[in-house]
Structure 1
Amino acid sequence: MSVEKYLKPEVINQIKRLDLRAQFVVKGFLHGLHASPFQGFSVEFSEHRKYSHGDDLKDIDWQVYAKTDKYYVRKFEAETNITGYLVMDLSSSMGYTFEQTLTKFDYAICLAAALAYLMTQQQDPVGLVTFNDKIRSSLPPRSKRTQLSNILSLLSKIKPEGTTNFKHSMEQLAAMLKTRSLIMVFSDFLVDEQETLDALYRIRHGGHDVILFHVLDEAEVTFPFRGLYKMTDPETGDELKIDGDGFRSDYQKRIQEFRDGLAKECRKTGIDYVPIDTSMQFDKALMEYLLSRRARG
């Protein structure tokens, strides 16, 4: 099996140990960097930061632009370690799946584990926060190698349950942050959009960097349902009967507007927005982390 296949969710699902999942995802990702125009951008991660007005255009890295559609310039000064928080939504809606190998929760857990693996390899302090209607557990950031085991242990034990109070949970998180940090939030964001944005703005205005990993099931994006179908809200139990064929076009338009709206509002305040569904390989999200890491300073 080629190492790149370890970036595919259906392959990762066959690996039951979370530590091995994380290692395989990172290994596949780094191998992909070596085999791409990013050769040399792997373990040392060539330093980049986002393009700012006044930067010399000749310093733009066009290979990075081709991969990400974003402008980055190389930076050469030394960079201090980044303190990161993996912030995991464990509300019931994250447990949803429709004929997929990984639930949204499984996908987010695997991605968070891979990021924890990358950060500890870089000796970056990394912590973990889980929440639904409030913060349920937290591990303060540490850079010791034992921190990876602590994070993986907690990630392997948590299960999706309960309802979401995103605003309250983010207010609690903001109060915990003592130093400038990179906040990586994993959620389906199936909550009030304005409350979500207000909560993220508060964290961003506190001087912290934010990556919003918007994780949806593939079916929540494509809407493959046909005929009469009964939909059940996993958090409230409310039921709704729909005609899948008649509703599909309108639904797909609304979900795209939802994602586009979040992306637009995030751009206004410098929040990185990464739309993901459970059919996607993990390398897109990992690349976003690496570029955000180098955009600081």
Structure 2
Amino acid sequence: MLSPEQLYALRNLPLAAKQVAEGFLHGQHLSRRRGVGMEFSQYRPYQPGDDLRRLDWRLAARSDRYYIRESEVDTSLTVHLLLDATASMNHRDDNGLSKLDYGRLLLAALAYLAVNQGDAVALTILRPDGLQHLPPRADPRQLTRIFHTLENATATGRFPAAAELAPLTARRQRALTICVSDLYEEDGEIDTLLTRLRTTSGEVLLLHLLARNELDFTYRGAVTFEDLETGRTLQLNADQQRRTWQEHLHGWLREAATQARRHGFEYAQLSTAEPLDRALREFLKRR
């Protein structure tokens, strides 16, 4: 699989999404249920009320028993993709890739995979000036809409206010919600949104995205850090503060994972330096 920076260098989101997802389409496993379909699954004893057209008369003639032929049919799923497009997602890793760049690639690949499995896919860009929302659709043209929206997404400001998020939580539709975010928040607003979506829509998969230079604290010497959302700055000596930084970071990551699971979310931590395959595996496990 190409690295995230190689995919981004293509400057072609549809092509990058196809490159990432097609490797997973070989040997894909669709979610299935038994019913009236094309692919034979098994026999089961006849029960009063069963459709007699599904009765296997040849087997009945041989055995004097009545059996119903069951087949497997594909089940569709509604997949709701959420992208945190607040200013902190502009943070760049040492490979030059921002969290927003990685998030675009990741959600484009997930959309490609979902649409090719027959799922209805929705996309919401979470911005402070209002939500950008594409309602769920299962047709291939939805991919073009999603790619266009992701390509034009920019990261700015802080997380949307509760009033802006109300239309999302007002909908009661069963879906797998997949949120890509760095979880930088002021007062638990991301957790609050996902908790409400968990209640109204069902399963939530939280993909916690960080840059490798955050995780490994690759900085050297005197450094000035700036909060991309508030503009506040902090000066420190990176070599002296590395251990303290990493202790605080790992503590926060443990707490974030614990909090997510406590609220019923599935949680996975991702790095912008890693291939996108882990996130796709997490999706396929739930698909």
TM-score tier by shorter-chain length is 0.7 to 0.9
Match of 1:184 in 2: 178
Q: Which of 154, 158, 161 is residue 156 of structure 2 equivalent to?
A: 161
Within the alignment, does 1:12 sit opposite 2:3 as a pair? no
1:27 to 6, 22, 37: 22
The answer as to 2:203 corresponding to 1:218 is no
What SS does the aligned partner of 1:235 have?
coil
Query: Take 1:250 and 1:187, find their aligned partners in 2: how far apart are those partners?
Result: 24
Paired residue secondary structure (2:230): coil
2:28 aligns with: 43
The equivalent of 2:270 in structure 1 is 276
1:229/1:241 contact within 8 Å kept: yes
1:187-242 superposed Cα distances (whole Å, 9 cap, x missing partner): 11111364432332222122421111111111111111111100111112111101
Q: Percent identity at matched positions? A: 32
Q: CA shift at 1:85, angstroms?
A: 1.0
- The residue that corresponds to 2:101 in the other structure is 106
Cα distance in structure 1, aligned partners of 2:189 and 2:242: 27
Distance 1:97 1:240, change over 3 A: same
Deviation at 1:166, TM superposition (A): 6.8
Can you give the 5+ residue segments of structure 2 that lack an aligned partner in the other structure? Answer: 34-70
Kindly tell me: are residues 46 and 196 of structure 1, through their superposed partners in 2, closer, same or farther at Cα, counting changes over 3 Å? closer
Distance in 2 of aligned mates of 1:187 and 1:27: 25
Q: Name the structure 2 match of 1:92.
A: 87
Post-superposition CA distance 1:135-181 (Å, at most 9, x none): 43110000011100111011111111122237555544212x23111
Secondary structure of 1:206's aligned partner: helix
Report the TM-score, using the length of structure 2 for normalisation.
0.80
Change (3 A) 1:122 1:24: same
Q: Which amino acid aligns with 1:187?
A: S
Q: Quick one: which of 250, 253, 260 aligns to 1:266?
A: 260
Residue 14 of structure 1: how far off its partner (Å): 2.2
CA contact (8 A) 1:167 1:198 kept: no
Structure 1 residue 89, shift from structure 2 partner: 1.0
Distance 1:193 1:183 in 2: 22
How far did 1:99 drift?
2.1
Q: Using structure 1 for the length normalisation, give the TM-score.
A: 0.78
Is the counterpart of residue 291 in structure 1 residue 285 in structure 2?
yes
Q: How is 1:131-170 mapped onto 2 (pairs within 5 angstroms)? A: 131-133=126-128, 135-165=130-160, 170=165
Q: Between Structure 1 and Structure 2, whose CA radius of gyration is higher?
A: 2
**CA-CA distance at 1:77 after TM superposition:** 7.0
Q: Which amino acid aligns with 2:190?
A: T
For the aligned residues, what is the CA RMSD? 2.2
Mark the runs of 5 or more structure 1 residues left unpaired by the alignment: 32-41, 49-75
d(CA) in 1 for partners of 2:16 and 2:161? Answer: 28
**Larger % of strand: which?**
2
